[in-house]
Chain A
Amino acid sequence: MIAIHNLNKSFGRLGVLKGIDCCFDQGGTISAILGPNGSGKTTLIKSILGMVLPDSGRIEVFGRDIRRQHSYRDRISYLPQIARFPENLRVHELIAMVQDLHKRPGRPEPLIHRFGLEPWLDKPLGTLSGGTRQKVNLVLAFMYDNPILILDEPTAGLDPVAIIRLKEMLEEARAAGKIILLTTHIMSLVEDLADEVVFLLDGQVRFRDSVAALKAAFDAASVERAIASLLLQNGHASSGMQAGAPVSEPSKC
């Protein structure tokens, strides 16, 4: 459903994405997009959403080139990294607004109940704490039954109970056959939820395989250690290993 072909993007002289080729077409899969800071995770996600315009390459969503298109986003749910909303709108007004802009009603009520947001519905968004804002952010992202779900650091600011709720929601979304892309720095979340890891380094996909395969490839007990080994491996060009060589062939479209 998402096909990325030879995607390149630079910001000034800094090349962020360098010939990315990958597909996300398996429903019911949680793909964790990982990589160090500045590796291009957010740029890749924003390119799929049309927020970052590629220098070259092509992205197809639902079989159609997304260039100059906007209607395809109606079937993608997105959770941005930073939850900041118009300060003077109230929570229920924001939820109504997003539904109004989608031109179709979502189902926010079960999510409001799940995160215990009822007491906050009538409060201006500017008065909410960071964690509560993130819960509102999650309601906005999950209130539509869309086939694609893109989450950028979904656990930011959440308390442990809310994280458990989020994990439940992600498992339900996977069971419903959705394609879920997730970026996170919380490796336990990857370990618990992800079906596959897409590891970006220097703007390229350096590894793409299941979590078990990642751990096996580096003989590591945890995802965290496997990722550390992967990074070290790519930083040791002089040790005979070619820097930048993928340790697992990224699955192309």
Chain B
Amino acid sequence: MGKILKYTLYDLLRSRSLLFYFGFYLLFTFGLFWLSGDLQKVLVSLMNVVLVLVPLIATMFGVMYYYNSREFTELLLALPLPRRDIFLGQYAGLAGSMALALLLGVGVPFLLYGLAASALVGQFLLLLGAGVVLTFIFSGMAFFIALRNDNRIRGFGLAILVWLLFAVAYDGALLLALALLRDYPLEKFALGASLFNPIDLSRILIMLKLDVAALMGFTGAVFRKFLGTGLGSLVAAAVLLLWVLGPLGAIRMVAEKKDF
């Protein structure tokens, strides 16, 4: 797996799309600092962009990479390598290169603007950590969808649908449910529901560490009471880990049985 990961990284780190992705974060973060020198404000603005854009780009890139490298994958499959190594290596290379672009694109401006000396290091690392985890989750789901669907249009459609579900539709449905059932105590339901959406869970985890958490009202207090504790953080981390491992297991299972 290590060798496939190495060569996938080698290829992708030189791809124009990835350089563009890195350049976007770099310019965007510098732009935010130029508009407002306040680290906290930049962090909040960045959070809103990262939590939507990272899953979207990871999804698109994941599907595109699989379909574009299909013929090369066939060449690899004819080499004396187990299928598991080929697909997990490609996935790790894909997600790893995108995560690296995010880390450098956002990290470099923060370091230059004096993050190390500020009290916001923890929050910043949490934002980057969430971005990296979301990259792995959504590129994994996209890779799995592409692996299952030989029809590219269907694969792209399904992958975008999954992103739409987690980034937009899930919140809408949740809000509707909360509004319709407002006469009932829904705090635990809201807490439970947030665990099933990695984007929501990441957003809550970051917001709890920022001053804006006060805006979340009573539900925010419930979140803070649970996720603010050691056990809560552990549960959140475990759930996010499951979100990474789920697509990984699915990729492995499909790859073993698929015809190429």
Contacts and interface: CB of A to CB of B under 8 A. Distances in A.
Interface string A89-132: 10001000110111000000000000000000000100000000
Interface residues of A, number: 32
Interface string A43-81: 000100111110000000000000000111110101010
Contact of B81 (A9, A78, A101): A101
Contacts of B8: 86
Interface in B62-98: 69-72, 74-83
Interface string B80-118: 111100000000000000000000000000000000000
For chain B, the bracket of interface size reads 20 to 34
Given A88-B11, A89-B7, A51 B259 contact: yes
Contact of B80 (A73, A83, A86, A87): A73
Nearest to A72: B80
B25 to A, nearest CB: 20
Contact of B79 (A87, A98, A124): A98
A83 B83 CA distance: 20
A9 B72 CA distance: 23
B3 A101 contact: yes
Contacts of A97: 3, 7
Interface of B: 3-4, 7-8, 10-12, 14-15, 69-72, 74-83, 257, 259-260
Given A70-B82, A88-B10, A97-B3, 19 more contacts: A49-B77, A51-B74, A51-B77, A51-B259, A53-B259, A70-B83, A72-B80, A74-B80, A78-B78, A82-B74, A84-B71, A85-B72, A88-B11, A88-B12, A88-B14, A89-B10, A89-B11, A101-B3, A102-B80
Interface of A: 9, 11, 46, 49-53, 70-74, 76, 78, 80, 82-89, 93, 97-98, 100-102, 124, 140
